[in-house]
Structure 1
């Protein structure tokens, strides 16, 4: 299953011509543009089919079949202003995920030769992966559905609500990964450092609006 956050930007008019690596630029699939021209429905429903090549052992490449279904407000895809707001939100979510990933890595115990300590390190790395995957999984409904619907309906607090969800989910994911490290003083020290880093990044990426 391909996550909406990976492909939805392709369907938004605001992403047309976006600079990628080198001289490459993003181009919205023609089938999406034609569908938007042909439909008067408030929602656009698309199904994506294709293959993903995944690397394996001994330089072998395995091709896996994928199918993903998308449903989102057509108005957000058509309107350039709404598209840019959606794209900014997707980019902010990615930056929050990047900050969370750094904080999770800060929880890792020191490298050591003892078998038990190596096992603790492997467990910590698995915890990072699970926490980050859980973050995106829980965020998906709010980011790809609720937020886009709020934009289409013209709700002024759409971004404010999404920021609250991002802040909450990042903290929840960090707490779940940090709990197993609360066994000794060294673990508590790492948790404190990582938590301080994450809170600083969240404050910068998701500043709270001042009440007038």
Structure 2
């Protein structure tokens, strides 16, 4: 089992990256928030887990081991595979997922693309206390205040388009998220938080 990777970021796309570790390029799938932190040509360390199927072996990467734990635990729910587990973490921080479990918040889960009310109820029922109690860290994952690093909203829009949203819908949703947060631009450190906030506001809507 490959538990982590430390190497040079060789390539980054909308849902995956290639990390070069001593001459070997590892293809990893990750959330848009995790990918937004990677810089081509720079060293990076990612926590990983491998999902083995009869026809494939796929490596998933995370910013920290808490995200990885939630990803792995979520797949213990009947009908929840890697794609939905990753989508949950694209919308919510790990602690926000724990908070949703703790309060039985169906609406929080149905904001995740691909999760309807029935699946949300099943997740709440089957996960139960497996994730532990919320700690209060990262629940307010909303867009931050503007900083003098240039407007990075294009990265958020690009990530949303990669998730299947039309460009116009993505642009309008990012604009609404910024307005709701009182910010005018997306600074580099706020790309992931802005993406999470926008995905929560969009839910499963793609039209």
The answer to whether TM tops 0.5 is no
TM-score range, shorter chain: under 0.3
TM-score by length of 1: 0.23
Kindly indicate which of the two structures has a greater share of residues assigned to helix.
1
Q: In terms of Rg, which structure is larger?
A: 1
Kindly indicate which of the two structures has a greater share of residues assigned to strand.
2
TM-score by length of 2: 0.24
